[in-house]
Amino acid sequence: MQILKGIWDFIQYQILGMRWLDELIGSALSGLGLDTSTRLGGSIEFFAYDVIKITILLCLLIFLISYIQSYFPPERSKKILGRFHGIGANSVAALLGTVTPFCSCSSIPLFIGFTSAGLPVGVTFSFLISSPMVDLGSLLLLMSIFGAKVAVIYVIVGLIIAVISGMIIEKLHMEKHVESFIITAGSVDIESPDLAMKDRLAYAKDQMLSTFKKVFPYILIGVGIGAIIHNWIPEEWVVAALGSKNPFGVVLATLVGVPMYADIFGVIPIAEALLSKGADLGTVLSFMMAVTTLSIPSMIMLRKAVKPKLLVLFIAICTIGIIIVGYFFNVIQGFII
């Protein structure tokens, strides 16, 4: 048992967490005469370490996930979803969202395609929620920072939110609140040809480079904000606003997260810094969920596909779910960290 724990700790801290990289960067900066114990030195160390670590993990994860995704083109995904009904369909749609794009704006075109193909609105919304909120990349990246327990529970809870939200929308019969051009568009159901491994590898490489170019600016911004929070914002400020002494911290974090736009890779450094400063775990995760699921740009895009009543319902259900999850994690924080 001790051997297994040692192996897992090595994976957690040295492979996923890349502690060796942190030590290497610290030694390099010290060798250049920079004192990493100062605010400026600490900020530079935090920035360099997180940018390099997230970039390495990002490229590896996108490549692997894109390779898996090559087996699930839209046509095949539609056929898979069409075989299920009720909660089973919502669950499969939420799971399918874990191997699709990394932000809500890139998920919306797929959502429109699925809806145009005649899939139930509630099922397509389960996909739309899970896609940016819980993907395989976020699972491993969360494990590298918050640990396996937090990461696994986060993904499970995110899937539950996606399934329940889709079922609520389905039960309320909101089909009439989808824009008519989406309903009447139809879709061309072309069977995707079987790809050779070489083609799949080429596809994964192209997806990795394309996604990295889109995401990297947000990584720089997110890590930059994280570095400022980590080294310049007084701890008591963070604790007062987002700690356990403020019963409305989860609500505040959720509302602050909504106007922002970033994917999971850009927001995790901010969450990491907030947690290190004393913010409660659930409060931090609520902030992450709000940023990735309910950003204003993605809601503007979604408004083109659905009418205001359905859009407001979607935002309300997601917001309430995120807040509930935040308080849940705050309650169990002592048991999982």
pLDDT digits (tens, 9 = 90+) for 29-40: 999 999 988 989
Q: Is the per-residue pLDDT at 215 higher than 80?
A: no
Distances (CA, A) of 322 to 92, 197, 212, 283, 317: 21, 40, 27, 10, 9
Distances (CA, A) of 112 to 74, 125, 305: 11, 10, 7
**Residues 168, 174, 180, 183: what is their CA dihedral angle, to the nearest 10 degrees?**
50
**Closest of 148, 153, 149, 136 to residue 57, by C-alpha:** 136
The pLDDT score that the predictor gives to residue 190 is 43
CA count, 13 A, side-chain hemisphere, 228: 5
Return the residue matching tokens 């308080």: 327
Q: Is the per-residue pLDDT at 13 higher than 90?
A: no
- Crossing angle of helices 19-31 and 39-69, in 10° steps, is 140
Yes or no: say if 96 and 77 are a contact pair by the CB < 8 Å rule. Answer: yes
CB atoms within 10 A of CB 41: 17
Q: What is the pLDDT of residues 182-202, one digit of tens each?
A: 666 554 444 455 778 888 899
**Residues 98, 101, 105, 111: what is their CA dihedral angle, to the nearest 10 degrees?**
-60
Which helix (H) or strand (E) segment holds residue 125: the answer is helix 121-133
The pLDDT score that the predictor gives to residue 188 is 43
The pLDDT score that the predictor gives to residue 144 is 78
The pLDDT score that the predictor gives to residue 28 is 94
The pLDDT score that the predictor gives to residue 82 is 73
DSSP 8-class letter at 172: T
Average pLDDT for the chain: 82
d(CA 52, CA 232): 21
Q: Give domain limits for the chain.
A: 57-183+198-336
The pLDDT score that the predictor gives to residue 283 is 93
pTM over 0.85: no
Rg (alpha carbons) of the chain, rounded to whole number: 21
